[in-house]
Structure 1
Amino acid sequence: MIFRVAIPTPLYRLFDYRPPIYGPETAEPGCRVRVPFGRREVIGVLVSLETESDFPLDKLKPALELLDTEPVLTADLFRLTSWAAHYYQHPIGDAMQQALPVLLRQGQPARFQHQTLWQAAADAAVDQLSTRAERQRELLSLLLEHPQGISTDALRAEGGNPTLLKTLADKGLAESFEHHPVLTHSDDRGADVLREAPLTLHDEQLAAVEAVNQAQGFTPILLEGVTGSGKTEVYLQAIQRCLEESKQALVLVPEIGLTPQTIARFKARFRVPVLALHSGMTDRQRLDAWLWAREGSARILIGTRSAIFTPLKTPGLIIVDEEHDGSFKQQDGFRYHARDLAIFRAREHDIPILLGSATPSLETLHNALSGRFQHLRLTRRAGNAKPPKFELLDIRQQTLDAGLSPPLLKRIHEHLARDTQVLLFLNRRGFSPALVCHDCGTPVDCTRCDARMTLHRQPPHLHCHHCDRQTPIPRHCAQCGSGQLRPAGSGTERVEDRLAVHFPDTPILRVDRDSTQRKHALERIMEQVHQGEPCILVGTQMLAKGHHFPRVTLVAILDADAGLFSADFRGMEKTAQLILQVAGRAGRADLPGEVVLQTFNADHPMLNTLVHAGYDAFAREELQLRRGGHLPPFAHHCLIRAEATRQGLAENFLLSLRELAQQQQLLPQGAQCIGPFPSLMEKRAGLFRAQLLLQAGQRKPLHQALAVLIGLMQAHPEARRVRWTLDVDPIDSY
C-alpha cells in the first residue's frame, strides 16, 4: 500500500510515501499525515491509497504518522477542494490546507479543547466547614451556585480564591472534571425554532420565500431586490423552513464588519445555535466552531468567504448575501471565488442556493437572464419606505471647499434643519491623497510603489495605502528644496475638518479604516447614529452596505466620477454598484430620501441610464457592450501575473513564455494570449509587475492552455528570479 499525499507546496503534483511503521491499520482519503519533506516535517492530506508508484518502493520514504482515524476533510469538502484546485489551477496540497482550520494545519487533534471545571461534591454543604474558614465557605458557596461546573478563571472573576480548591477537594467537598464546550440545544421541531414571530411579508417577499421553500434539489436562485426591500427577512423565513426540517443553513456575507449585526438579527429570531466564522476569531474559536458545524450542533453558520470550507452534517440551504461583492474573491495565494464555490457545493449537496443583491454581478445576472438561474425580484421597499430621489449635481464651474460644492452645503443645511441625518460618501481615507510642492509641482511619491503618499493628520504622517509604508511629513521638497508643500485633493479627514467649520453645532462622525481601528469603535459610532439626533456621517465603503439608518434622508456622493473612465472593463459596473449601495442608505424608513451625486460628467450616458432608468437597464446595456467586446461573461479570462525585483524582468519572462507557446503551437484552438504589458501600477511594494491575459470563448480550451503554460513556466530558466501567479476569472486588472 502506498500513501499518495497532497502537501502544501507550490508544486502541482502529489507525493508518494510508504505507510508509517507504527499507527492505525486503516487509513482513508481526507485524513492528515505527517511526512518528511526535504529537511522538514509537514502536514499533508491523504488523497488516495495506491498499489503502484512511478518510483521504486525502496526509494519511497515512510510517512511519520497518521494523525486521524477518520477524515478531517469530509467527502464533500474533499471533492470541493479537488475541483477548486483544478478550476483555479492551484496546487492541490495548498488548496486542501486552506480548507482546514489553522490548528489542524499545525497537526493539532480534531477535537474540542478540554477544560478542567470544578463543582461541589454531591453532599457538600457550607455548614460542614468551620465558621472561621470564611474564604473556604465563600468558595464552596460559589461552587454550589454553579452546579454545572465553573473554571478557575471564572471563580477568580467572581471573587473566589482558586488556590483553596485543593483544600476543599482534600475534605471531600469539591471535585474537578474534564469538560469540553457544548452548544445549547433546543427542540427544533415546528415553530419551536423561533424565538420571535416573523415579520409580515409583502407579495413579492412572499413569492420569493415560497419559491425557495418549493425548490427541489439543486436550484440556484438570484434574489434581486432594491436596497431596503427586505431581502434579509426573505433569508430568515427561508432558513426557518430549513431548520424545521432539522437541517443546517450556511450564510456567506462579504465583510467581517457586517457579521455582528447579521448574527444579532439571526439570534433574535431563532432559538437554535447561531455561529460566526470570520478572520477575527482566534484559532481555537475557529476550530471549535468548525467542529460544532461538523457534528451538526451549529444550525446556522454565518461567515465571510473562507466559511465556504466549513463541514456541514445536514446541509439544507446556502445563502450568499451581496453576491456581487468583490470581497468574495480571494486576491492572493489560492485565488478562489466563494460565491462560485458555494454554487458548486450546493450542486454537490443537491440543495437550493440563494444569491441576494440589489446590484447583481453581470455574470450572475447573465445566468439569470439566460435561464440557468431562477430570477426573483423585489422591486419595492419594505414598509412605507419610498425609493430615494436621485439628482446629478453638475459641479463644473463650481468652487469646491474640500470637495463640497455650495449647492450641496445648502442641501445639508436644509436636511439638518429638519432634525434628520446626512451621509457623505468619499472612497478616499486620509486628509489628502497627495502632498505637492507649490513651487515646482512635484508630489511626494512612495519609494516602493508607483503611487502618491497619502497625507494623514490624525496622527500626522504620510502613508502609502498600497504597501503600507509610513513616513513623517517632510518639511522641504526633495526636488527643489522649497518649503511650500501643500495638500492636493480631499480625503475623509479633510472633509470632516471642513464640515466642522460649516456645521459647528452638529456632530461629525467619520467612518473609515483609520477611525474604526480600536475595538468596538464602529459599534459606538453606530449607537450614536441610531439615537436619531441630527449628525453628519462621512465615510468610505464601510458605510456603503448592510447598515440601516432610519433617520438618514440625504446621501451625497462627493466624487461620482471615480471609476467612470477606469482602465478596468469592470470599472463602470463596480461604480454603478457602489453608487446604488451607498444611495440605499437614504430614506429607509417613513422619511423621504434624497441622493445627490456630484459629478463633472452630468451628461455621461451610462451614469444617466443608472440614475434615471435603474440598475436593470444599466446592466442590460453593459451586457450588450461586453458581448460586442467578447468580454466576460461572454468570454473567459485568466491573468498570469509576474513580479520581479528588477524592471523589465517580469515582462520579458511573460513575453518569452508567450513566444515559446506560439512557436511550438502548444495553445489549443480558441485560446489566445494578449500582452504581456505592465500592470496598471507597475511598481508595488518594491517589485515590478507585469501580466499576460489568456482569453478563450469556452472554459475547456482556457484550462487546456493553462496546463501548457504552467508546464512552460515551471521549466523556464528564469522561473527562480520571477514570482508568478494565476488568477482564473479575475475581478481586478491592477
Structure 2
Amino acid sequence: MAAESVRDRGACSSRWRKIPRPRRVWCLYWISYIGPVAGAAQQELKALVLIGGGMPKAYWYRAGEITASDLRPGTLVEVPLQKRKVPGIVVETGHPDLGFDTKPIHRVAPDSARLSAEWLELLRWISQYYLTPLPLVLQAGLPKAATRFLFHPPKRATKQPMEKSIMPVGKNLDPTAGQSIAIETISKSLESGSHGAFLLHGITGSGKTLVYLHLAKKALALGKRVLVLLPEIALTPQTIGRFESFLGRKVPAFHSGLSEPERRDLWKKIFAGEADIVVGARSAALAPLENLGLIVVDEEHDSSYKQNDPAPRYHARDVSLFRGKQAGCPVVLGSATPSLESYHAALTGKFTLLELKERATSSPLPEVEIVDMKAQQEMQGYQHLSIPLRDAVQQALDRGEQAILFLNRRGYSTRRVCRACGETRMCPHCAVALVHHRSTRTLRCHYCDFSISADSPCVKCGEHEMLDTGRGVEKVEEHLHKIFPGVGVARLDRDSVSRAGEMERILEEFKAGETRILLGTQMVAKGHDFPKVNVVGVLDADAGFGLADFRAGERAFQLITQVAGRAGRHKGSGRVFLQTYNPDSALLQHALKHDHAGFFRDEIERRREHGYPPFRRLLLFEMLSRKEEEVVKAMEVFALILNELAPQAHADVLGPAYAALKKIRNEHRLHVLVKGDYPNQLQWLADEAVKRFAPSQPKSVKLRMDRDPVSLL
C-alpha cells in the first residue's frame, strides 16, 4: 500500500510540473479562495419566489443578508427581474444545490408582511382545479395594488377615504321563528369550529340578511373573522350599511370599484390582521383572510360569481366552500332562487337545507298576473306597457306608492335597419348588431365597446334614413315620461351609472321618494328593499328563453322571481305583471305560483335526461384566432385528440362547433364541450390533451379552458 501511495504521489507530482506556471497559479487560487466561496454559496439560504402575471414559473433567489426568521413561505418580497424590481411571494425556502448562481432578494415587505400557508394552499387548489398557471392565480388573489403601497408608498400624502358615520341600529331586528331556527342550527357549527355547508332558501323578503347579521356577531364574539360575498358591487353600500348598523363598527368593502386610497387602506388592514369582517363582490373570495369563522355567499345562484376573463375562471361560491373546509367553518349559501346544483346538493344531504317560508314583515307574497301581449296588441296596438300594468302603476302613484319596471336590454333600440335596403348595422369586430344609444347619439357594441355616430350612413347603400327595431330601457324611459307626465322616472343600468357615485344617488333618490318609477335592467332585480314599491312590471318575460344554453330557463326563472320579489315587502299588497307572448309557458306558470319546487322538479329531469349538471361535470374548451381557417383546422385536430382520450376518462365530447357568438373582438370562436363523471379524470383529460396538442398549436390560435362553465354562449 505504501509503495502504491508513493507511486501515486510521484505521478501526480509529474503531471503537476507539466502544467504551465500561470495555470498552476490559477488552480491554487481556485482551491484556496473561490472553491470554498462557491461551496458556501450553494449552502446559502435560498427562496423560491412566485411572481404574479405572465411569468411561467417560480424563480429561486438567494437570501443575501435576510435572515431565515424573516424569510418563510408566505413572506412578501421584492426581487430583481430583468431590469425591474417586482413584488413576489415566497413559496419555499431551503439550501438547494442549483448548479447556477442566483440573484439576491432585494428586500422583504415592511413589518415582514406575510400570507398564511392556508392561503397558499388555496391558490394551489385554484390553479389545479381551474387549470390555470399559479402566477396568474397569484395575480388575481394579490393584485399589484395590494403590494404597491408596501414597497412604494406614495410620495405625497393622499386624501384619505372619507369616514362615513355609522347609522344607528334600526328596529325589528329580533329574529322570527324561522330565522331563529336557522341561526341556532348554523351557530352549532360556528361554535364547535366544524365545517358545514348550509343552503338558506328563503322567499324574497324573508330576512336572510338578518340571519347573516346575527351569525356575524357570534363569529366576531368568538374572535373569528367573517367574509360576506355579494353578486353585485351595487349591493355593497346597502349591505355594508346594514352590517355597520347592527355590529356598531366599520366594515371595509372589497371590490374592483374602490378608489386608490380606499384600496390602500383595505390592504393595510388585511396585512395588519385588522380586517375582522369584509364585505365584497366576487374577488373578495380570494382575500387573504386568516382565522375565518364564517363565510356567507348571498344570492348564491347569481352567475356573476363566475369569473370569465381573464383566467383563473373560478366560481366564488365553490372557492368559498373550499375555504370553509380549510378553515373548519360554516359556509352559508343564501338565495330565494337557489341554483339547481345547490338545491340538489341540499336535497341529497351534501348541504343542510334551511328554509324561510314567510316574509319577515308578515306581508304576503305579491299577486302575480300573466298578461297576454298578443291580446293587448289587438286592443291597443304595440305598446311598451299593457293596459293592466299601466293602470296599476297609475293607481300606485295616486296612492303615493312607487313602481319598478324591468327590461333587461340596454340602449334605445337593439338594432338599426336601413329603410332603403334593409341592411342591419353590424359591429365590424363582432358578430352582433350595434345597439342604438340615443342618450349619447351613438351605435355601440356591447362586447368590444366599438362605437360610431348614430347619424352614420348605411354601409351598403349610403342612405341616412334608419329604422330603430327592438326596444331598450332608453326607449321605454322616453315613453314613461309621455304617459306619466311630471312623474320622476329614474333609469338604472350600466350606462346611467358609469360615473362614480351615480348608482348610490339614483337608489337614494328613489328610496327617498324623489323619483316614483325605477326602470332598469337586472340591476334592479337583486337585493333591493324599497318600502313603498307595491307594483312591479316585467316588460318582456320571454327574454332569454330561446338562448342556446342549457341554463337559459333557470336564469329566466330566477330573474323573474327576484324582480317580482321587490313588490309588497312592507305595507300594502304587492302586484306583479309578467308581459309575455307565450302565456302558457310552464316556466311562467311556476313563476305565477311562486313555485320554485315545481320549477326544480321539471328542470332537474331535463338535466338528468341530457346529462348536464348536477349529474355530470362540464369542461368547455374554446379556441380563438383572427384567422378563421387556422382556428377551424386547429380545433378539428384538438377535437380528434379529445375523442381519443375521452373513453379513458369516461367522458363524452360534443363538437367542435362555432360558439353562439361566432366572433368577438375580431377573434373567431369555436367550442368543444366535454361531459364527464369524475373531476380528477376530467383534469387528466385536459392536461393530457393540451400536452399532445401543444407541438401543433399555431401561434395565432389561443386555447382557453373553462371548468364548470355557467354559460355556453
What CA distance in whole angstroms lies between the structure 2 residues aligned with 1:533 and 1:269?
27
Indicate yes or no: 2:174 matched with 1:203: no
Structure 2 partner of 1:88: 130
Q: CA contact under 8 A between 1:420 and 1:534: conserved in structure 2?
A: no
| Alignment counterpart, residue 62 of structure 1, candidates 103, 107, 116 | 103
What CA distance in whole angstroms lies between the structure 1 residues aligned with 2:696 and 2:65?
41
Q: CA contact under 8 A between 1:17 and 1:63: conserved in structure 2?
A: no
Q: How does 1:251-262 map to 2 (within 5 A)?
A: 251-262=228-239
| Secondary structure at 2:519 match in 1 | strand
The alpha-carbon deviation at position 440 of structure 1 amounts to 2.6
Whichever residue aligns with residue 500 of structure 1, its letter is H
What CA distance in whole angstroms lies between the structure 2 residues aligned with 1:285 and 1:613?
41
Instruction: Output one character per residue of 1:188-215: Cα deviation in whole Å (capped at 9) or x when no partner.
Output: xxxxxx9667712221111111111122
Cα separation, partners in 2 of 1:482 and 1:312, compared to 1, 3 Å: closer
Structure 2 partner of 1:376: 354
| Secondary structure at 2:648 match in 1 | coil
Q: How does 1:407-418 map to 2 (within 5 A)?
A: 407-418=388-399
Indicate yes or no: 2:407 matched with 1:363: no
What CA distance in whole angstroms lies between the structure 2 residues aligned with 1:420 and 1:196?
22
What CA distance in whole angstroms lies between the structure 2 residues aligned with 1:406 and 1:440?
35
Structure 1 partner of 2:28: none
Q: How does 1:257-276 map to 2 (within 5 A)?
A: 257-276=234-253
The alpha-carbon deviation at position 235 of structure 1 amounts to 0.8
| Secondary structure at 1:476 match in 2 | coil
What CA distance in whole angstroms lies between the structure 2 residues aligned with 1:689 and 1:506?
46
Taking structure 2 as the reference length, the TM-score comes to 0.86
| Secondary structure at 2:628 match in 1 | coil
| Secondary structure at 1:396 match in 2 | helix
| Secondary structure at 2:459 match in 1 | coil
Cα separation, partners in 2 of 1:279 and 1:613, compared to 1, 3 Å: closer
Structure 1 partner of 2:18: none
Structure 2 partner of 1:339: 317
Instruction: Output one character per residue of 1:200-259: Cα deviation in whole Å (capped at 9) or x when no partner.
Output: 222111111111112231011110111111111111111121122222211111111111
Indicate yes or no: 2:105 matched with 1:49: no
Structure 2 partner of 1:213: 187
| Secondary structure at 2:354 match in 1 | strand
Q: Which runs of 5+ in 2 are unaligned?
A: 1-44
The alpha-carbon deviation at position 615 of structure 1 amounts to 1.4
What CA distance in whole angstroms lies between the structure 1 residues aligned with 2:273 and 2:169?
20
Whichever residue aligns with residue 277 of structure 1, its letter is F
The alpha-carbon deviation at position 350 of structure 1 amounts to 0.5
When structure 1 is superposed on structure 2, of 709-718 and 501-510 the one drifting more is: 709-718
- Count, aligned residues: 659
The alpha-carbon deviation at position 418 of structure 1 amounts to 2.8
Instruction: Output one character per residue of 1:382-414: Cα deviation in whole Å (capped at 9) or x when no partner.
Output: 113210011111112433545323343233333
Instruction: Output one character per residue of 1:614-660: Cα deviation in whole Å (capped at 9) or x when no partner.
Output: 11221222112111111011111111112111123223222211223
What CA distance in whole angstroms lies between the structure 2 residues aligned with 1:624 and 1:442?
42
Instruction: Output one character per residue of 1:315-342: Cα deviation in whole Å (capped at 9) or x when no partner.
Output: 2111111111111111112111111111
The alpha-carbon deviation at position 439 of structure 1 amounts to 3.2
| Secondary structure at 1:360 match in 2 | coil
Structure 1 partner of 2:41: none
Structure 2 partner of 1:76: 118
| Secondary structure at 2:326 match in 1 | helix
Indicate yes or no: 2:510 matched with 1:529: yes
What CA distance in whole angstroms lies between the structure 2 residues aligned with 1:687 and 1:393?
41
Larger Rg: 2
| Alignment counterpart, residue 708 of structure 1, candidates 663, 667, 688 | 688
What CA distance in whole angstroms lies between the structure 1 residues aligned with 2:658 and 2:84?
37
Q: CA contact under 8 A between 1:433 and 1:454: conserved in structure 2?
A: yes
The alpha-carbon deviation at position 37 of structure 1 amounts to 5.1
| Secondary structure at 1:398 match in 2 | helix
The alpha-carbon deviation at position 674 of structure 1 amounts to 1.8
| Alignment counterpart, residue 634 of structure 1, candidates 615, 631, 645 | 615
RMSD: 2.8
| Secondary structure at 2:338 match in 1 | coil
Q: CA contact under 8 A between 2:444 and 2:452: conserved in structure 1?
A: yes
* Bigger share in helix: 2
Q: CA contact under 8 A between 1:111 and 1:291: conserved in structure 2?
A: no
Structure 1 partner of 2:495: 514
What CA distance in whole angstroms lies between the structure 2 residues aligned with 1:465 and 1:34?
39
What CA distance in whole angstroms lies between the structure 1 residues aligned with 2:321 and 2:244?
26
When structure 1 is superposed on structure 2, of 321-330 and 303-312 the one drifting more is: 303-312
Q: How does 1:236-635 map to 2 (within 5 A)?
A: 236-333=213-310, 334-399=312-377, 401=382, 403-532=384-513, 535-612=516-593, 614-635=595-616
Taking structure 1 as the reference length, the TM-score comes to 0.84
What CA distance in whole angstroms lies between the structure 2 residues aligned with 1:63 and 1:361?
50
Structure 1 partner of 2:150: 109
What CA distance in whole angstroms lies between the structure 1 residues aligned with 2:125 and 2:623?
25
What CA distance in whole angstroms lies between the structure 2 residues aligned with 1:311 and 1:102?
14
Q: CA contact under 8 A between 1:251 and 1:319: conserved in structure 2?
A: yes
What CA distance in whole angstroms lies between the structure 2 residues aligned with 1:713 and 1:619?
40
| Secondary structure at 1:668 match in 2 | helix
What CA distance in whole angstroms lies between the structure 1 residues aligned with 2:52 and 2:273?
29
What CA distance in whole angstroms lies between the structure 2 residues aligned with 1:78 and 1:680?
37
Cα separation, partners in 2 of 1:677 and 1:277, compared to 1, 3 Å: same
What CA distance in whole angstroms lies between the structure 2 residues aligned with 1:583 and 1:631?
28
Q: CA contact under 8 A between 1:253 and 1:303: conserved in structure 2?
A: yes
Cα separation, partners in 2 of 1:109 and 1:483, compared to 1, 3 Å: closer
Percent identical residues:
35
Structure 1 runs of 4+ with >6 Å offset:
110-116
Structure 1 partner of 2:670: 690
Q: CA contact under 8 A between 1:661 and 1:667: conserved in structure 2?
A: no
Q: CA contact under 8 A between 2:47 and 2:63: conserved in structure 1?
A: no
Whichever residue aligns with residue 727 of structure 1, its letter is D
| Secondary structure at 2:252 match in 1 | strand
Whichever residue aligns with residue 628 of structure 1, its letter is E
Q: Which runs of 5+ in 1 are unaligned?
A: 117-150, 155-180, 187-193
What CA distance in whole angstroms lies between the structure 2 residues aligned with 1:294 and 1:195?
30
Whichever residue aligns with residue 225 of structure 2, its letter is Q
Structure 1 partner of 2:4: none
What CA distance in whole angstroms lies between the structure 2 residues aligned with 1:71 and 1:83?
23
Cα separation, partners in 2 of 1:507 and 1:271, compared to 1, 3 Å: closer
